[in-house]
Amino acid sequence: MARLPDEPTDETDRIFKLQEEIDQLKEAVASHAVVDQAIGMVVALGRVTPDQGWLVLKEVSQHTNIKLRSVAEMILFWGRSGEMPPEVRAELEGALDRHGPTQIPGAPPAG
For 25-81, the pLDDT digits (tens) are: 878 777 788 999 999 999 998 999 999 999 999 999 999 999 999 999 999 999 999
pLDDT of amino acid 57: 95
CA distance 69 to 3: 39
For 71-94, the pLDDT digits (tens) are: 999 999 999 999 999 999 999 999
pLDDT of amino acid 7: 57
Q: How many CA atoms, within 13 angstroms, populate the side-chain half-sphere of residue 24?
A: 6
Tell me what the pLDDT averaged over the chain comes to: 84
Which are the contacts of 99, defined by CB distance < 8 A and separation ≥ 6?
46, 48, 52, 55, 56
Has residue 102 got a pLDDT over 60? no
CA distance 94 to 104: 17
For residues 15 and 86, the model is more confident at 86
pLDDT of amino acid 86: 94
Has residue 103 got a pLDDT over 80? no
DSSP string, 85-110: -HHHHHHHHHHHHHHS-SS-TTPPPP
Has residue 104 got a pLDDT over 80? no
